[in-house]
Structure 1
Amino acid sequence: MPQVNPEILIWARSTAGLGIDEAAKALQLGGVRQSGSEALEEYEGGGKPPSRPLLLRMAKLYRRPLLTFYLQQPPAKSQRGEDFRTLPGGQAFETAPKLDALVRDVFVRQRLVRSILEDADEAQPLDFVGSITLAQPVAVAAKVICERLSFDLTAFRGKKSIEDSFNYIRGLTEKLGVFVLLIGNLGTHHTALSTDTFRGFALAEKVAPFIVVNDQDAKVAWSFTLLHELAHIWLGRTGLSGADIEQKIEQFCNDVASEILLPEAEMEAFRPMGDDRQGLIDAISDFASRRKVSRALVVYRLLKRHQISRKQWLDLAEEFRRQWEVERARKKEQAAESTSGPSYYVVKRHRVGNALVEVTRRAIAEGFVTPTKAGRILGVRPTNVQELVGAA
């Protein structure tokens, strides 16, 4: 058996975002004579070679292929596109190993899907990827995207629920050949990535572009994030997006998504009167609800129109966030008490989207992919693939 470089063990654990104690416990190391952390330190220090069963457990925990542990040196840091997120004062955003793992996983899925399309002679480059620039007027860019999507604002607002409205935009997007994933963790709630870490990710490839929407965010914000990332696809700019409005590209994508969901002409109808904070909150809430958009979007537009100050914007955004967190906690309690709910396969299918399920189903039927690769595309175990695509 090839020797394992201890540096690989350290690199794999640290890039998975795990400390010594946490990893040792998850790997079930340690015993009477030696603690788990001491045992792992011995392996990582080169004092003892890891067994194959241990490497298999590490591969699963650290989300790395087994062959990775037999590399001579840790690989160079993978690219995840541009980072369009910023912090106050121009500080760099802290690197999140879990986010790197998520983005790395999306790149793998994209390559597998592109390979399937190439094998099926369906890998047609999408001409709209990278077809606009930041010099384009926002209204023009919004119109171009709407027309290509065949987006109807009345139809969007006419859906029964916020989630139905999102599904409407998602369906139109997937018809264009863009795959849309709802991902906010690495498979368990313990690995959830908050919206402070990222809101969306766009992989702007000409063939099989991908969009990720962080489903840890409020559902009412999903449509905006999808359109924001779609603007990134039109710009041809792969990267991560956050909640900031400082970077020029983020402002542009925010403004395009805003114009699609809440046209400037409609903002003329919203004229908050006086300095009554609660009255303003109530007016914003009603205005947003009737249009199936988030209150955060409305206050952003009010800020851009200079109808509220930056101080008011920060105050209102924080208030709406606080209210959402209270509501989210309440719904989690209700879900925990409920004995009914959608099946695992219904939930998983919703997260990966109909387009990805259908491509995988056809690829399996035509022999283009193995169950293992199909599982990697769909984010499930190979044994669960048939059940998931069979439900199609």
Structure 2
Amino acid sequence: MDRIHAVNRERIEWCCAEQGMAPGELAGVLDMSADRWEAFWTDEAGLTFNQLRKLAEHFGRGVLFFLEAGPVAAEQVHTPQFRTLAQQKPELSQRLRLLIERVERQRALFLSLREDLDDALWSPFEAPELPAGNVAAAARATRLWLELGEGKNDFESYRKAVEAKGILVFRTNGYNGPWQIAKESPVAGFALYDPQCPVIVVKKMASDAPQAFTLMHELAHVLLHKASWIDDEADLRSTQGREQEANLFAGLVLVPDHFLASISDADRPDDVAGFNEWLKPQRNAWGVSAEVILRRLLAVGRLPQATYQAYRAWSLEAGNNMKDEGGTRKYRHREPKHIFGDRYVRTVLNSLSARRITLSKASGYLDGLKIADVHELERHYAGA
């Protein structure tokens, strides 16, 4: 079997350093014996194409990346947004790094599509003018900007409102795959700031309510801080710095002060186990968790800190006993809608229908969806 000898070992070392692994560990990845790996590493032997392909897939790179001469220029491989997230969380797993890069590639694909569109299909992002140093006023202005009404809302309605302002909102999959944030990962979401087309990524969770809070938390980083950011679940409860601002902003956008008037303190159960039922009408109407509402009541002095902490302890224990079913690929043709959002998918399908893009290009914009599944997705949107 022919072997490729022009493999750039310096680039392999760079990738290993990024992933925090020793080059020798790749022998197992490539199904090579220690002796064969040593022969390759000392330049006595090359790699087969299949081994090179496995190497590329492991690091999320193209095959040609390892055949190019010279060292890696990190600033060319990683965008400033990626480097910002990596600096914030140096312990990011390789899997999460690959997801961030995947999101960036998808954004680049969409921007290339947008060049041929008019504003009727996708309006460009224009950040609102928000008052500086006043999170409450900024939240009120953002509700008006998003055109959030007083009626019922849920994660999808919040998502559509944000998308309507030219911001991409991706939600990861619940099952194992390239678009999943692993269940064991503490990361809840991240934002990639860009003055033309920001992207917010929300982790798929067992229920929609915490996803709505994550979405608005990341929106705060985009609008208030104009920065790329990555957040663990603990950051969504932080009381310090920019995380505190983002949490306050998210709570006020989702549950403004006047919403709290519909909650009766007199009806509050003595047992915190009854709080979810007590707040059920508000939870259903606002698309938020009981904890978000309780934090708002705490902030305005209508709930003792000890009571809130008791609910938190009960909620964590109850949450640990919840079964997360993950997800299924039964409806593969609907995956792009779940991941990239309704507006993104409609933009691609409208462009296809208007013959601005080919069926092959539409497949690429929709995460490599098979042609048959693209047609099935069209029928889904047509209600057939």
Shorter-chain TM-score: which interval?
Answer: 0.7 to 0.9
SS at match of 2:145: helix
Counterpart of 2:102 in structure 1 is: 105
Counterpart of 2:126 in structure 1 is: 127
Where in structure 2 are the equivalents of 1:61-72 lying within 5 Å? 61-71=58-68, 72=70
Counterpart of 1:354 in structure 2 is: 342
Cα distance, 1:388 vs structure 2 = 6.5
Query: 1:214 is aligned with what amino acid?
Result: K
SS at match of 2:230: strand
Counterpart of 1:136 in structure 2 is: 134
Counterpart of 2:295 in structure 1 is: 300
Which residue of 157, 162, 178 maps to 2:167? Answer: 178
State the alpha-carbon separation in 1 of the partners of residues 317 and 86 from structure 2: 25
Which residue of 218, 223, 232 maps to 1:242? Answer: 232
Cα distance, 1:135 vs structure 2 = 0.7
SS at match of 2:125: coil
- Report whether the alignment pairs 1:264 with 2:264: no
Cα distance, 1:221 vs structure 2 = 0.7
**CA distance 1:11–1:41, change in 2 (3 Å):** farther
- Report whether the alignment pairs 1:386 with 2:384: no
**CA distance 1:275–1:377, change in 2 (3 Å):** same
Query: 1:227 is aligned with what amino acid?
Result: M
Counterpart of 2:283 in structure 1 is: 291
SS at match of 1:154: coil
**CA distance 1:75–1:265, change in 2 (3 Å):** same
Cα distance, 1:13 vs structure 2 = 5.1
Over aligned residues, Cα RMSD in angstroms?
Answer: 3.9
State the alpha-carbon separation in 1 of the partners of residues 378 and 208 from structure 2: 27
SS at match of 2:52: helix
- Report whether the alignment pairs 1:3 with 2:2: no
> Which aligned segments of 4 or more residues in structure 1 are displaced greater than 6 angstroms?
17-22, 272-275
Query: 1:287 is aligned with what amino acid?
Result: L
Cα distance, 1:81 vs structure 2 = 6.0
TM-score of the superposed pair, with normalisation by structure 1: 0.75
Query: 1:57 is aligned with what amino acid?
Result: K
How many residue pairs get matched? 360
Which residue of 188, 200, 205 maps to 1:211? Answer: 200
**CA distance 1:194–1:319, change in 2 (3 Å):** farther
Cα distance, 1:174 vs structure 2 = 1.7
Q: Deviations over 1:24-68 (max 9, x none)?
A: 5554x24xxx36xx6456545544322223222332333212221
SS at match of 1:328: coil
**CA distance 1:327–1:20, change in 2 (3 Å):** farther
Cα distance, 1:15 vs structure 2 = 4.2
State the alpha-carbon separation in 2 of the partners of residues 289 and 84 from structure 1: 41
Is the Cα contact below 8 Å between 2:99 and 2:179 reproduced in 1? no
Where in structure 2 are the equivalents of 1:17-36 lying within 5 Å? 24=27, 27=30, 29-30=31-32, 34=33
**CA distance 1:45–1:119, change in 2 (3 Å):** farther
Structure 1: runs of 5 or more not aligned: 87-91, 157-164
State the alpha-carbon separation in 1 of the partners of residues 186 and 227 from structure 2: 19
Counterpart of 1:162 in structure 2 is: none
Is the Cα contact below 8 Å between 1:7 and 1:44 reproduced in 2? no
Is the Cα contact below 8 Å between 1:149 and 1:173 reproduced in 2? yes
Structure 2: runs of 5 or more not aligned: none
Counterpart of 1:326 in structure 2 is: 321
State the alpha-carbon separation in 2 of the partners of residues 82 and 322 from structure 1: 34
**CA distance 1:348–1:121, change in 2 (3 Å):** closer
State the alpha-carbon separation in 2 of the partners of residues 377 and 325 from structure 1: 37
Counterpart of 2:214 in structure 1 is: 225
- Report whether the alignment pairs 1:59 with 2:56: yes
Cα distance, 1:11 vs structure 2 = 3.5
State the alpha-carbon separation in 1 of the partners of residues 216 and 113 from structure 2: 26
Q: Deviations over 1:144-175 (max 9, x none)?
A: 1111211124221xxxxxxxx21111122222
TM-score of the superposed pair, with normalisation by structure 2: 0.76
